[in-house]
Amino acid sequence: MSIPKINLYFKEKSQIYKKINTKVIFKVFEQIKKTYNNDGQVFLMANGGASAIAEGFAVDLRTHPFVNDDKSVTTSKRRIKVECLTESSGCLTGISNDIGFDFIFQEQLKNYMRSKAKNKNDLLIAFSGSGNSANIINAINFTKKFGVKSFCVSGRGGGKASKIVDYPLIIPGSSKFPGQTGKNDNNFHIEDIQNSLSHVLVGLLKEYVQKK
């Protein structure tokens, strides 16, 4: 019987959305505004399916806030600087092969980190299922030395990342839907909400930029 399973999926998701900590989302938006106003840079990173979400987020941040609603004319507003650390297969495979997968984000970030004075307005955003991936943790710890603020959206209790970032957002709940049980518990819902959060933040930034 597929209908009950479909209903289960959306019932679980609706329950999770009601428990999301919107205060954290607001704080992250305030940080994005600060990053934009001070010409800082946003860095995005994720593993697996969430990496596609991070790439979509990067595309939206680079474009949507700076394009009129009718899409006919772009605004003259200064754009926000965004770097998605999953976009280059060359970097990812090269670093993995030569240095190790645990450093695929940290090694890329070395190209941008200069000092606390120069990077204090930057923001590192991570999408993670467990919050425990070594490449995520290494990147967060590395950028903290340069005063970079960090935000991680993760599930399953938040993991190590939730304890070291400035803005942790933990996706609550557990799932009985096929494909997101066991070690993958709630994974579809986590990724769905990560995607939703990217849209929320882009929409809020668009409203802010258009009113400036």
Asked if residues 160 and 150 have their Cβ atoms less than 8 Å apart, the reply is no
Q: Which residues of the chain have pLDDT under 50?
A: none
Q: Does 35 fall in a domain?
A: yes
Burial class (CB in 10 A: 0-12, 13-18, 19+), 76: exposed
Helices (H), 120-186: 134-144, 161-164
For residue 169, the SS3 value is: strand
> In sequence order, what are the beta bridge partners of 169?
153
**How many structural domains comprise the chain?**
1
Report pLDDT for 1: 61
Q: Does 41 fall in a domain?
A: yes
Tell me the C-alpha distance between 205 and 33, whole Å: 7
Q: Does 32 fall in a domain?
A: yes
For residue 119, the SS3 value is: helix
Q: Does 50 fall in a domain?
A: yes
Structure tokens at 102: 């645990």
Closest CA to 84 of 116, 123, 121: 123
Report pLDDT for 171: 97
Report the CATH number at residue 96.
3.40.50.10490
Q: Does 97 fall in a domain?
A: yes
The string of pLDDT tens digits covering residues 22-31 is: 999 999 999 9
Tell me the C-alpha distance between 150 and 82, whole Å: 14
Closest CA to 109 of 26, 43, 35, 157: 43
Report pLDDT for 73: 79
Distances (CA, A) of 136 to 141, 165, 189, 192: 9, 11, 20, 19
Q: Which domain holds residue 63?
A: 25-68+76-211
